Structures are given as C-alpha cells and as structure tokens.
Structure 1
C-alpha cells in the first residue's frame, strides 16, 4: 500500500532533522526539530520532488509565502492541499 501524504512528509522532515519518524510530532515546529534554514530549503526541494509539485515558498522571506511552515501539521496540510489541487 502506498504511503499517505502525511507519512511521506513526516519521513522527509525526519530525514532532514536526522530523527526517527516516530520522534516527529505533528505539533512540533521545524525549528523545534533542529531544522535550520538550509534544512528547510532542502525539505521543500525533497517535498517538491516526492510529490511532483511546486511549493509556493520564498526562502528569503518565509513569512510572505502562502506555504505555512509553523508546524509539522501545517506543512502536512499545505502539501495535502497542493497535491489535491494538482489532481483536480
């Protein structure tokens, strides 16, 4: 069975944070997980590649983008939305 979007995003975040998947909690911020700005950009690239989507994220001004990176749950939700939009 194929992994869900949530499971894939968590796996990508865990890899970037050098953590086990079970250590990535939905309410954690990426900063809480030890992901710095470079890790964030690498995570975004990995997500884009994994789902064949374009993430509307500006690394120079993350707060100005429509892609919410405030928590793991918000990243999962944003990716789920982009994947759903792509299929529509």
Structure 2
C-alpha cells in the first residue's frame, strides 16, 4: 500500500510543481520544487481529497501544525500514517 500512497502523493505534488513525479525526491522541500504557500495548500487539499483524510495543517501558522511539511519525505510519511490510521 505505501508504494501506491507514495507514488500518488508524488504525482499530486508533481502536478502542482509542474514537474514529472520522478523529479521529486524525498529530500526535496516544497520551496525547492517551486511550490509556494498557496500551492502547498492546494496540494494538501488534493491529498486530502485523494485519500479521504483530514490533514492537521494550519496554513496561517505552519510551524504550529502537527503535519511536518519540511520535505517530501516527511509529507509522505505523515500521509501514510493518516491513511493507516483511517484503515485501522
């Protein structure tokens, strides 16, 4: 399941960043991919819709959110946790 989740998240992020999914590494930050704050919020909405989850993210104060957006790897790991919790 996690490979599917990971690849789908990369596809959604790539679409927002106007890149190919294979251009997105786990170490890349949203800024490095050219995703601004609005693009990040749109990406989060797309991920929530895709996986039918609610991401605990405060766009006004991202540093206070429970959702780590520092790299693609942390975003993927957090979404995988939320998807697993929903399935349990």
Q: TM-score normalized by structure 1?
A: 0.95
Could you tell me which residue of structure 2 aligns to residue 21 of structure 1?
21
**RMSD across aligned C-alpha pairs, in angstroms?**
0.8
Could you tell me which residue of structure 2 aligns to residue 55 of structure 1?
55
Q: TM-score normalized by structure 2?
A: 0.95
Could you tell me which residue of structure 2 aligns to residue 43 of structure 1?
43
Give the ranges of 4+ consecutive aligned residues of structure 1 lying more than 3 Å apart after TM superposition: none
CA shift digits 1:11-56 (9 cap, x unpaired):
1110000001111111000110000000000000000000000000
Aligned length: 86
Tell me, which stretches of 5 or more residues in structure 1 are unaligned?
none
Provide the C-alpha distance between the structure 1 equivalents of 2:70 and 2:13, rounded to a whole number of angstroms.
Answer: 13
CA shift digits 1:48-83 (9 cap, x unpaired):
000000000000000100101000000000000000
> Is 2:73 the partner of 1:73?
yes
Secondary structure of the 1:32 match is coil
